[in-house]
Amino acid sequence: MALQTSRIFSLLFVIAVAIVLLILSWGYLSTSISWTAFSENNRHQDEDSLLKSYIELWVKKGNSTHPPAVFTTTHKAKIADSTKTNQVTKLKTDQMRASTHGAVAETPIPVLLKKSFKKLPQWDFEDVYNQDAPPRQTTCAQSLRNSEDESFKKAFLPNIRLFLHKNNFNMSEWNRLSHFNNPFGFMEYQYNDMMSSLKMIPKPKEPLLLPKPGNGGCVRCAVVGTGGILNGSKMGKEIDAHDYVFRMNGAAIKGYEEDVGNRTSVYVHTAHSITMSLYLFKKYGYTSAPHDEGIKYVMIPEGVGDFNWLEGLLKGERVSAGPYHNKRPWTYYGGQYNESRFYVLHQDFLRYVRNRFLKSAHLNNSYWAIVRPTNGAFALFLALHTCDTVSAYGFMTEDYKKYSNYYVEKNIKTHVVFYANHDYILEMNLWKKLHNSKIMRLYQRTDSETGTEKPKQL
């Protein structure tokens, strides 16, 4: 009898242990990695290797328990029309709900590696973006925001979050953005390596642009590229007649005013472009980035070097690490650097431009991770989101073979250089499409030698 009772208690104990293990397993499954973030094309080839990488990395960090619930950042996000609802808010709400079911404190996810993907990975929240509400209101009758072009209206997010700063960044954002390669996110970056600079980026004290009085509420902008089409164009006065003028990269002005104007309101750059332009264009008279009084500088955070640059700039110290080690960033802004007039583009804005307007077929190739829109493309879309009317000068047109690569090349005829990290033809076709849809005006020459388009009345 005693033996039978002992066996019964042993059986009950085994059942109890099994129930406990089942409960723990259910809790793990409900808070661990959701692999639905892979597209069907990538799921089978990448899921096993990536899962293995996650587990190995987690074990290396000295953790004996299962990975934390923060992996729910890769949960199955329902992609709805993000022009109607802010899906990032929903994403964060879902994460908070997960944290109430026994989830551990949120920590950085293990680093994702670009080599784990044979082409651009597609997450369920790939097309989900932070948005600022409400969007800028305008009374301008000619505003591009009033466009009736259906494809543009569907893709365009008037209140997409433009700028990154310390007040809109936290651990959830780090983990979400760690799924995207630079400059669209922090894939391959270590949390501790980046936070010192991220925590320093100030919140902009004012909008990038404000309407000028007497324009019917319209903000009229010119975006000036460096293309050879401007050589001999005599577009300088027309460019300067706009309320604001955007420039980027090697924006040489002295000696070229008749063709490109002499005003700069917004200068868009990376650490690479602002430093290398001094070397590339020195022989054409270029001595520094534009530094008009009151100019606003906008930085594209292209890679880890840009964050090293930012930290040195914001601290007023030499860059302590990376490709710009020992450089003094503030000296590159001609005495016009001012923290209150310095902006850093948000990764969501950069990804939105790529995904909705310039998604190149090259992203399906093995070199996908280096493919991104040009600095000129980002500058042009920044203008489209901050201005009512936009005119683009010095951008690639269908007759690009007639012109030199840069407008500074006056005495020689060079060829346009196609770098592997940009899809120039895709961009050229988009500029033409936006022009034909009257969303912006693209400057195109009618005579490659001496004639130009008849200037439009501003």
Angle at 379 between CA 377 and CA 383, to 5 degrees: 115
Domain ranges of the chain: 31-78+86-115+166-200, 211-442
Angle at 344 between CA 340 and CA 350, to 5 degrees: 150
DSSP per residue, 261-289: -S--SEEEE-HHHHHHHHHHSGGGT--SS
Residue 391, φ and ψ in degrees, nearest 5 = -120, 130
8 Å CB contact between 166 and 199: yes
pLDDT at 25: 39
Task: Answer whether CATH 3.90.1480.20 is correct for domain 211-442.
Answer: yes
Q: How confident is the model at residue 447 (pLDDT cuts 50, 70, 90)?
A: low
What's the rounded Cα separation, in Å, for the pair 378 and 358? 10
Tens-digit pLDDT profile for residues 238-281: 999 999 999 999 999 999 999 999 999 999 999 999 999 999 99
Task: Sort 242 into a burial class: Cβ within 10 Å, 0-12 / 13-18 / 19+.
Answer: buried
**Most distant CA pair in the chain, distance:** 111
pLDDT at 442: 98
Tens-digit pLDDT profile for residues 102-150: 445 589 999 999 999 999 999 999 999 999 877 777 889 899 999 999 9
8 Å CB contact between 198 and 349: no
Residue 25 tokens read as: 């397993």
Other Cβ atoms less than 10 A from the Cβ of 358: the count is 20
**Ramachandran quadrant class, 65 (left: phi over 0; alpha: psi -120 to 50; beta: rest):** beta
Cα-based distances in Å from 382 to 1, 195, 344, 351:
84, 26, 12, 13
Residues β-bridged to residue 223: 246, 392
Instruction: Report how many helices (DSSP H) and strands (DSSP E) the chain contains, helices first.
Output: 13, 7
The whole-model pTM stands at 0.78
Tens-digit pLDDT profile for residues 16-73: 545 544 443 333 333 232 222 223 333 333 433 443 443 344 334 443 333 332 333 3
What's the rounded Cα separation, in Å, for the pair 202 and 116? 34
Tens-digit pLDDT profile for residues 72-113: 333 333 333 333 334 444 444 444 444 434 445 589 999 999
Residue 257, φ and ψ in degrees, nearest 5 = -60, -40
What's the rounded Cα separation, in Å, for the pair 212 and 218? 8
pLDDT at 90: 45
Provide the strand spans (E) within 216-340.
220-224, 244-248, 266-269, 296-299
Cis peptide before 134, with omega less than 30 degrees from 0? yes
Classify the C-alpha dihedral 57-63-64-67 as positive or negative: negative
